[in-house]
Structures are given as structure tokens and as C-alpha cells.
Amino acid sequence: MVFSLYPQTPVLWVVLLRIAATGSALQAFLIARNRRLSYRAALIAHVCCIAALSLAVALYSAWFGGPASNYIQGLTIVVLVRSTVVPERFSLAIRYVALMMLTYPLVMLIAAALSPHPEWFTSRELAMFVTNYVLVGASMLGGAGASHLVWVARQQVFEARRLGRYRLEAPIGRGGQNEVWLAWDTTGERQVALKVLRSDATAEALALFRREANIARSLEDPHAVRIFDFGASEDGIHYLAMEFLDGADLSLLLRSHGPLAAARVVHFALQACAPLQEAHDKGLVHRDVKPANLMALRTEGAQDTLKLLDFGIARALESGALETRAGVIRGTPAYLAPEVCRGQSATAAADIYGLGATLYHLLAGVPPFEGSDVAVLAQKLTGAPKPLREWNASIPEDLAAATMRCLDAEPANRFVSMSALRDALLACDCATRWSSHDAEFAWNQHLQVRGVTAAETVV
């Protein structure tokens, strides 16, 4: 379009201005991707991007046509695109309109002062300038109004996304019959993870949901996820409010990095033993101990602090009162104890097996048995897992021995309690070798591999 309207235009100027515009767009993209920026810093960067685009359009106009240039229409495009992707109140949108509208005549005045163009000040040129300026200004005001209308509509939707005192902000997880949302507790004034039971959930799912709430609330150990609230909305949607965890579950760390350092594995295991022992002391067994249900936190001052999640299928040790349908094996096959696979009731020894299978997976990079669910169950009933040190000879012998004892097919041959397992882990040479500096380095590596700076949160 430049060369058809203005044949004498230097090619170099067109190329340089296009490179500048592309660089500004790339800068905006990188700013949007950088989640470490504070809101204020991102806002300043956004203003700079808008100013740069306005300046580029004004420079195009000054070089290619002067006040009567059709390039002023580029400001309309900028505003319309921005109003679509950045809805906001009219009082805020109008500030960006003012910034762009003032940049254009200012650049023209400076260009006229530095390099006088007598033809710019003819009545025809000035009439064209005023006409274009008024039309573009009107369209930009319309764009600001449209931005406001979109903002109002989104606010109405946002305000409607409430469950009781909780305002839903963003989905962060999804399970079989439930969803997990990042939510704002308007009463406690804090962010929470809100587990919501979907409206099509079965009665059995509701029973499991209530069980998880009751069991988790009964645990006081700091390594068990904290439950703040449990209830139902007026339209019958059940929810469970728990602490929002900033980190990643151990299965995610495995997928990102493979086997973990032995000292780090012991560091995690020692923390997992505490809430499991408390649950056993209260007559409860978790029944689904696995990497995905152990969350490592990366909050400042608490990196690699562990939290135990998901008591949804826990049951009472003394009876089958909390058991679900007869004949249904609940849990994840790769971490289920052999006796549970045979249909026997889960006991504390089953949790010890589950934690042992988790340690095996963290150290070897693979679970004790691999294959389909049916194949894994069959292997557990007929064989033993491959010795841990055959996967990696550098795994300490004392840690490998403790892990393999947890995986003994006979419950009586395993550790008698989580406390006994904890004592065995404390006796390992690598038990105290994982430092806060090691944790910080490991998390930096994890974030680089994942290519994110936000929390990898799974609840």
C-alpha cells in the first residue's frame, strides 16, 4: 500500500519501521508470558507498548503522506484490537485513547518543526487532517465503549461464579467426578483450592466426597492438607475448601526429571510418614498412597515441604463401615498391596506398601511393576519387584533395603508402623543431606524444564 500510494518512498524506511513494529509486538508477547512481573510492572510495560505503537503509526504518517496520510487509520486498528483482548472500564480505556490521540498531532508538530513542509499547511491538507482525526477519534471512543461493555459482561459472569462465600477464579484440576478451582474466600480473605463435586456425580461419589472432608478435617499434622470448609450451595453443588498449595505433586517431578536424588526421596518420605501415622492412630487407612497424592511445596521458606492429599477412599481400620461396594478394588494398581489385590481389607500395612512403592518409583524412575492394570495385579500375586539397586547401583543400600522391606508380599514382614519406617529412614546415611539450597536448585531446574514460572498446582 505504501508503494502504490507513495511511489517515491525509500524502501529502507519501510523495512526499518516494520522491524520496529514487529519488535514491539514481540516485546508485548514476552511481557505477557512473564508471570513474575508484578501487576504494576506489567501495566507500565503495557502503556509503553501502546505508546510505541502509537508512535510508529504517527511516524509512518509523517514520512508517508503527512497530515493527510491514511496511516492514521492504524490507530483505529490498535484500539479495536486492544478493546477486544483487554476489556476494562471506560474510565481506564479512555486514558489509552487519549495517549494515542495526543501522540499523533505531537509527532506531526515535531516533524514539521524539524523538517518544514509548506504543503502540509495548505487548506486541503489541514482539512484532511481534521477529518481523519475526528473520524479516528470517534471510532476510538467507540472502541473504548465496546471495551467497557465487554468488561461489564465479564464482571457479571465473574460475579455469578460463586459457591457460597467462594468466588471461583480459575480451574486448576479435574478428577473423576469433581473439579478443583482456585477460589477466593470472601470471608477469610484468602485464596483456597475449592474441590467441587459435579452435578452429575453419583450418590457413591457424594459419600466419598463427604468422607474425605470428615477424615481430612480430623488430621492435625502439618503435612496433611488443611480443610477449611465443607458444604453445599443453594442449588445443591457440594464443595470442599482446602488450602491452596503452591508446588507440584511428586508424579509431576518424576515426569519432568526422572528419578530423584536419594536424599530428597528420604526427605519427602519422612514427612509423609507423619500424617499417615496420625491417620493410623485414629483408626484410618489412606488406601491410595502414591506420588500423585504427595504434593511438594515451593513456597518461600518452605521449599520441598510435603503435603498428603486425597483421603477420598480412606476407610476405618476396625470395620468395613466405610467400605464401598463389595468386590470393588479401590486405589491405584501400581501402588496397591498384594493382599488388597486379593480382595482382603486394607490395613496400615497396605499404606506402608503404598509408600514403599512410591519410594521405589521415585528412586528407580519406574514403579515396582509395569504394564496394564490387569498385568500389574497379576504380577503382584505371583512375583516380587526387581531389586531396587539393579535399576541404579548408586542408590544407598540402607535406603534400598528399607524400601524393599515395605514391598514384601507378606504384610507381617513389612515395618510394623509408619513410625518404625520413619526410624529406619532416619538411620539412612543420606537422611540429613538434603538442604534448602539443594531444594532451591532442584526447583529452579524443574521450572526451566517445564517452561513455566507459575505454580504447578495439583490438588
pLDDT in tens, 367-398: 999 888 888 888 888 888 999 999 999 999 99
Place of cell 519488535: 23
Task: For residues 293 and 287, give the distance between their C-alpha atoms in angstroms, rounded to a whole number.
Answer: 11
Mean pLDDT of 27-44: 71
Selection from 345, 225, 204 nearest residue 285 by Cα = 345
- Cell numbers at residue 355, please? 509408600
List, by residue number, the catalytic residues. Answer: 288
How far CA 358 is from CA of 259, 276, 363, 370, 400, in Å, comes to 11, 14, 9, 13, 12
Contact between 109 and 58 under an 8 Å Cβ cutoff? The reply is: no
The region of weakest confidence among 114-118, 267-271, 392-396 is 114-118
180, β-bridge pairs: 173, 195
CATH superfamily of 247-450: Transferase(Phosphotransferase) domain 1 (1.10.510.10)
Beta carbons within 10 angstroms of residue 179's beta carbon: 16
Decide if 147 contacts 154 (C-beta within 8 A).
no
Position 200 scores a pLDDT of 64
Least confidently predicted of 194-198, 326-330, 383-387, 431-435: 326-330
Q: Are 75 and 86 in contact (CB under 8 A)?
A: no
- Nearest-angstrom CA–CA distance, 348 and 72: 74
Q: What is the CA radius of gyration of the chain?
A: 31
pLDDT above 90 covers what percent of the chain? 27
Q: What is the structure's pLDDT at 37? A: 65
pLDDT band at 268 (very low <50, low <70, confident <90, very high): very high
> How many residues in total does the chain contain?
459
Centre a 10 Å sphere on the Cβ of residue 337 and count the other Cβ atoms it contains.
28
CA distances (Å), origin 341, targets 292, 337, 367: 20, 7, 16
Determine the Cα–Cα distance for residues 166 and 196; give it in Å rounded to an integer.
11
Q: Is the pLDDT of residue 452 over 70?
A: no
Residue 217, CB-side half-sphere exposure with 13 Å CA sphere: 12
Question: Which is higher by pLDDT, 12 or 266?
Answer: 266
3-state per-residue secondary structure call for 132-194? HHHHHHHHHHHHHHHHHHHHHHHHHHHHHCEECCEEEEEEEEECCCEEEEEEEECCCCEEEEE
Evaluated on CA atoms 204, 205, 209, 212, the torsion sign reads positive
Q: How far apart are CA 359 and CA 385, in angstroms?
A: 13
Is the model more confident about 141 or about 155? 141
Residue 91 has pLDDT above 90, yes or no: no
Q: What does the pLDDT read at residue 377?
A: 84
Strands 238-243, 227-232: parallel, antiparallel or unpaired by DSSP? antiparallel
For position 329, what pLDDT does the model report? 53
* Mean of pLDDT values over 406-412: 94
Instruction: Write down the mean pLDDT value for the chain.
Output: 82
Q: Which pLDDT score is estimated for 392?
A: 92
- Give the whole-angstrom CA distance, residue 387 versus residue 274: 27
* Nine-digit cell string for 305: 515441604
Determine the Cα–Cα distance for residues 70 and 77; give it in Å rounded to an integer: 12
Same fold, 163-243 and 247-450: no
pLDDT digits (tens, 9 = 90+) for 42-84: 778 778 888 887 887 888 777 777 777 777 777 777 777 777 7
Considering only 62-71, 128-137, 222-231, which range has the smallest mean pLDDT? 62-71
Identify the pLDDT of residue 350: 94
**pLDDT score for 324:** 41
Please tell me the distance from the alpha carbon of residue 81 to that of residue 78, in angstroms, as a whole number. Answer: 5
- Write down the pLDDT at residue 455: 40
* Confidence (pTM): 0.62
- Of 62 and 331, which is predicted with more confidence? 62
Among 276, 269, 261, 223, residue whose Cα is nearest residue 424 = 269
Question: Can you give the residue ranges of every domain in the chain?
Answer: 2-160, 163-243, 247-450
Give CA–CA dist 422/118, Å, rounded: 88
> If you ran DSSP here, which 8-state letter would residue 260 be given?
P
Phi, psi for 77 (deg, rounded to 5): -60, -45
Q: Which three cell numbers stand for residue 136?
A: 479516528
Cα separation values, 191 from 104, 242, 263, Å: 44, 9, 32
Name the fold adopted by 163-243. Phosphorylase Kinase; domain 1 (3.30.200)
pLDDT reported for residue 63: 75
**Integer Cα distance of 158 and 160 in angstroms:** 5
Which stretch of DSSP H or E encloses residue 196? strand 190-197
